[in-house]
């Protein structure tokens, strides 16, 4: 079945260093669309960014990601981490199967001063 893999459970960084959170996916469908959701402590998840287009960079709030169907990846990046970026990040995938949005297990990003 469909799956989303986030290899890191925890990423720790010093403020100012670049961020990269990995996300890969598996699906039998040819046109998946990918999301990154962010969840700050004691809050609910909210959309950070999404992509429906292969090889097109999408950006929001300093973060960016590019859907690469050739490598089944949608890694989240930011050039310089801030303390306020500390949160739980979920990668999620949708396909033509309506209603079935598959989430990865999440990566907790902890940014230190």
Residues lying near another protein in the complex (CB under 8 A): 9, 33, 37, 44-47, 50, 52, 90, 92, 94, 98-106
To another protein, the closest distance from the beta carbon of 50 in angstroms equals 7
- Distance, CA of 78 to chain centre: 11
Counts of helices then strands in the chain (DSSP H, E): 0, 12
The residue among 26 and 80 lying less far from another protein, judged by its C-beta, is 26
User: Shortest Cβ distance from residue 55 to another protein (Å)?
Assistant: 19
Asked if 94 and 100 touch (Cβ cutoff 8 Å), the reply is: yes
């Amino acid at each position: 079945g469909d799956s989303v893999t986030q290899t890191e459970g925890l990423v720790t960084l010093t403020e100012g260093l670049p961020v990269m959170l990995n996300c890969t996916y598996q699906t039998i469908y040819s046109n998946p669309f990918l999301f990154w959701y962010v969840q700050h402590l004691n809050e609910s998840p909210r959309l950070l960014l999404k992509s429906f287009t292969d090889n097109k960079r999408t950006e929001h709030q300093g973060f960016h990601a590019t859907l690469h169907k050739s490598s089944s990846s949608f890694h989240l990046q930011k050039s310089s981490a801030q303390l306020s970026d500390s949160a739980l990040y979920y990668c999620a995938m949708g396909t033509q199967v309506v209603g079935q949005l598959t989430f990865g297990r999440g990566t907790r990003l902890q940014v230190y001063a």
